[in-house]
Structure 1
Amino acid sequence: MSSAAKEFPGLRFDPAPGLVPALGLLAEKVRQASGQLGRVRGEMETALRDPGAWTGLAGGASHDAVQGIYPKIWTMHDALSGVEHTLGEWSYLLTDYQRSRAALEAQAVAARARVKQAEADPDVDVGFADIVGRSGADRNAFFKRHAAAKQALDQAENELDRIIEAAKSLKRQHDDSAKTFAKQIRNLADHLPDADTMTPAGSGIIPPYYTKPPVEAEDMGPKREFNVTEPTAKDHATRAAAMAMVAGQDAYLGNERAASYMKHWLEGDGSEVQFKAGEFVDANPAFRKLLTDTILAGGPNGNFDTGWQSGAVHEDMKAPESAGKSKQLLDWYYTMNGYRYRIVGTDFKMVNGEPAGQVRVDIYKRYNWGNPEGGKHRGNIEGVPQNDLARLNETGLAHDFDITGSMTFYVTPPPRS
């Protein structure tokens, strides 16, 4: 018997391998290295912002040298921070997978016990002696007991099979996630962050350390796969209605972004679309308030990370801060109503009683429609059920895709008068 079978007598295999404590130790080492670079970076920033420290020809030459080195320290620090956050996200997800593994193992152990008990029932098998030498009434009584015993065994075996299939599905999710996080870490090593992201509000290009949130249950499942079902006449009619929505958004409502994203969904190859997160923040007063509140609450701690959180433009539009601003948010509402965001603050210090440091805002949206795998109901769009729209990806008449945006900026308190 293999070691996995011994450790998991119910499932007979490990659907979520990995050592969370070892992962934590590795993340701590990376965190320490990132912290050392962060301190160097902070000291360089302080020095570069103090013009009085660079006097004379030697001072000017030294300033130029430090200013030339600083971007490399910046990008290395962010790369290490990206590895740290990626390891943390994988650790969190692995812990969740292993909780599911424990529950499935307990179910499998109980199911195997029920199978064994059912197999031990003497009435489950039919022998020659059970048929010959019995009266008709005895035979009928035996066959009734046999049918009941066989049904109990079949039910026990079917339940065990269901649990094993669930564990296999968990193993596939685990392996896919492990590959994704490994690729992200390799990319961080092979492609350092672009120095252009150092400019205020970022460059609009998603830096390599951007890591997408774990996939939500509603965005997984066979009904979310691309081009696996033959389209019907109704599907073609739904696609025609969606094309009419594109024209309506663009020509009549003036929502150019919503129109272009839906057109990409209908005609594109599923490739990721990136946008400037600063444009979303500028258009959304409620999100700006949330961002400000997060900085004020987290800045005094030196570093902070909200993790991935959920937001909705329709809720932002109801906020008091958005009074009179709903029109500018309508384009975003039709583009990506439900979104996810993450706010990360690094190297914060208190200056004049106010937090000062670097902030990164990451935004993510999976562009798809409906909820064919279950979940919260979504209303119709222009009379078209959203599940009908969602089916277009399944039939290959549209292609779901990711929307990503990121911005990096410095928070600097105003000087005291």
Structure 2
Amino acid sequence: MSSASKEFPGLRFDPAPGLVPALGALAEKVRQAATQLGNVRAELETTLRDAGAWTGLAGGLCHDAVQHIYPDVWTMHDALSGVEHTLGEWSYLLTEYQRSRTSLEAQAVAARARLKQAKADPDADIGFTDIVARSGREREDLFKRHDIAKQAVNQAEEELDRIIGAAEALKKQHDESAGTFAKQIRGFADHLPDADTMTPAGSKLIPPYFTKPPASAEDLGPKREFDVSDPTAKDQATRLAAMAMVAGQDAYFDNDRAASYMKNWLEGNGQDVQFDASEFVNANPAFQQTINETLRANGAAGNFDTGWKSGTVANDMQNGKVPRELQDFYYTMNGYQYRIVGSDITMVDGQPVGQVRVDIYKRYNWGNPEGGGHRNDIEGVPQNDLARLNETGLAHDFDIVGSTTFYAAPAPTP
């Protein structure tokens, strides 16, 4: 007999395995680690807010170094806090599952006892000799008692089957929940910023707090779905033209990012491309101005979230110098969405000081196959023709996502 059968003689399997005390001990260790990081984070925040502590050239350099480190500490603290919270949720849910397991086990034990008692009734199992040795009236009475006994056996078996079925459903729910929580916990590790984790045309993974904006109307509709139409000869020709665009962007224009993103669109599997949003901010003086204006306008609130707003690199390029990197972003993700979040902002001498997060989002697709406004041709190829490549499975639309954090502080005194 298996250990589960010995421990659960009624159900004969464990529908909700797991050790709640061990989960609690693990959550406590994670909590302690998160607390320590939280203390470090608080110290860094206090120090970064003290503009008088960063005087002279050495002070300015140290401020830049600490400001660069702080977002990693901030993200690590939030990640560990998220792990602790997730472990707590799973521990609570597992406790509820095991409470149901206890009830079902007790029901199963009682049901097996009733079934055993029902089967032990002599009238439940009659033989040939029991029948022929009796008179007609006795046989009729025997058959009635046999029907009643068999009905009791059947009812006991059905009740046991119902309980076992409920336990199997509990086991399925338990396993699915365990997988979901494991994936969530794993996600906190997988989504930490990591400069060594390369993605097509970018580096660093976005943190788990990133949430995408609602899909725009132009990005919805049957013709936006992937691989739902058969490609035509014209579609094949359009794909060849797109491949030529990749080569042109890479070799002629020196737009490495634009080339790699388009190559990913032609050859990828539709998964998100995650990039370091600080590269976009640093390459875009006009967007930097937008961030500064947003901080000054909302800083007095202490905490703020602009929600998702829209911008275009084309408009950004109209305001000031256009670095080569910004031109690359123009060909990569001209129309984009952004979100600016301020945390614990204070105003020091009229300047905002505090933690800032900038999220960037772009749906990488072409044209508008559902109709709507016309987009300019790309090297003679209509963008709606390019958009059809996703519909025919010759390319795969995807999302560009990125996030960056920094600490806004007054410039150190020379």
TM-score interval (norm. to shorter): 0.5 to 0.7
Confirm or deny that 1:386 pairs with 2:383.
yes
The structural deviation recorded for 1:204 is 3.0
For structure 2, the residue ranges without an aligned partner over 5 or more in a row are 1-37, 54-69, 87-178, 196-202
Q: Indicate the SS of the match to 2:236.
A: helix
Q: Contact 1:336–1:365 at 8 Å: present in 2 too?
A: yes
Is 1:71–1:195's contact at 8 Å kept on the other side of the alignment? no
Instruction: Say if 1:204 and 1:295 are closer, same or farther in 2 by CA, change over 3 A.
Output: farther
C-alpha contact (below 8 Å) 1:204/1:406 kept by paired residues: no
SS of 1:387's equivalent?
Answer: helix
Matched, 1:370 2:373: no
Deviation, 1:242, is 0.6
Give CA deviations for 1:251-304 in whole Å, capped at 9, x if unaligned. Answer: 111111111110111111112111111111111111111011111111121011
The answer to whether residue 78 in structure 2 is matched with residue 75 in structure 1 is yes
Bigger radius of gyration among the two: 2
In the alignment, is the contact (CA less than 8 A) between 2:276 and 2:403 conserved in 1? yes
| SS of the residue 1:407 aligns to | strand
1:215 to 1:186, Cα distance in 2 relative to 1, 3 A: farther
Cα–Cα, structure 1 residues 332 and 71, in superposed 2: closer, same or farther, change >3 Å? closer
- Partner Cα separation in structure 1 for residue 272 and residue 194 of structure 2: 23
Matching of residue 344 in structure 1 with residue 341 in structure 2: yes
Matches within 5 A, 1:18-417: 44-45=43-44, 74-75=77-78, 191-192=187-188, 204-319=204-319, 321-322=320-321, 325=322, 327-415=324-412
Taking the aligned partners of 1:261 and 1:293, their CA distance within structure 2 comes to 31
CA shift for structure 1 position 415: 4.7
Conserved 8 A contact 1:75-1:194: no
**Aligned partner letter, 2:78:** T
Counterparts of 1:267 and 1:194 in 2: how far apart (Å)?
24
Instruction: Please give the alpha-carbon distance, in whole angstroms, between the structure 1 residues aligned to 2:45 and 2:330.
Output: 41
Distance 2:180 2:363 in 1: 18
The CA distance in 1 between the partners of 2:268 and 2:191, in whole Å, is 30
Number of residue pairs matched by the alignment: 260
Contact kept, 8 Å, 2:365 with 2:397, in 1: the verdict is yes
Amino acid at match of 2:235: D
- Tell me if the contact between 2:192 and 2:207 (Cα under 8 Å) persists in the aligned partners: no
* Superposition TM-score, scaled by structure 2 size: 0.55
The offset of 1:189, in angstroms, is 6.8
- Per the normalisation by structure 1, the TM-score is 0.55
Structure 2 CA distance for partners of 1:197 and 1:236, relative to 1, 3 Å: closer
Worse-superposed segment, 238-247 or 268-277: 268-277
What SS is found at the alignment partner of 1:228? coil
Change (3 A) 1:78 1:197: farther
Local SS of the residue matching 1:234: helix
SS in 1 for 2:328: helix
SS at match of 2:249: helix
SS at structure 1 position matched to 2:346 = strand
Inter-CA distance 184–216: structure 2 relative to 1 (3 Å threshold): farther
Residue 415 to residue 280, structure 1, CA distance change in 2 (3 Å): closer
* 1:194-227 Cα shifts (integer Å, max 9, x gaps): 896599xxx8320000000001111111101111
| Letter aligned with residue 349 of structure 1 | T
Structure 2: distance between partners of 1:343 and 1:231: 41
Deviation for aligned residue 1:351? 2.6
SS at match of 1:343: strand
SS at match of 2:204: coil
Query: Are the counterparts in 2 of residues 369 and 386 from structure 1 also a CA contact under 8 Å?
Result: yes
**Alignment partner of 1:318: what SS?**
coil
Deviation track 1:362-406 (CA, whole Å, cap 9, x = no partner) reads 000110001012332211110001000000001010010111111
Q: In 2 relative to 1, CA 305–379 (structure 1 residues): closer, same or farther, beyond 3 Å?
A: same
Name the counterpart of 1:148: none
SS in 2 for 1:406: strand
Give, in whole Å, the separation in 2 of the partners of 1:343 and 1:189: 26
AA aligned to 2:327 is L
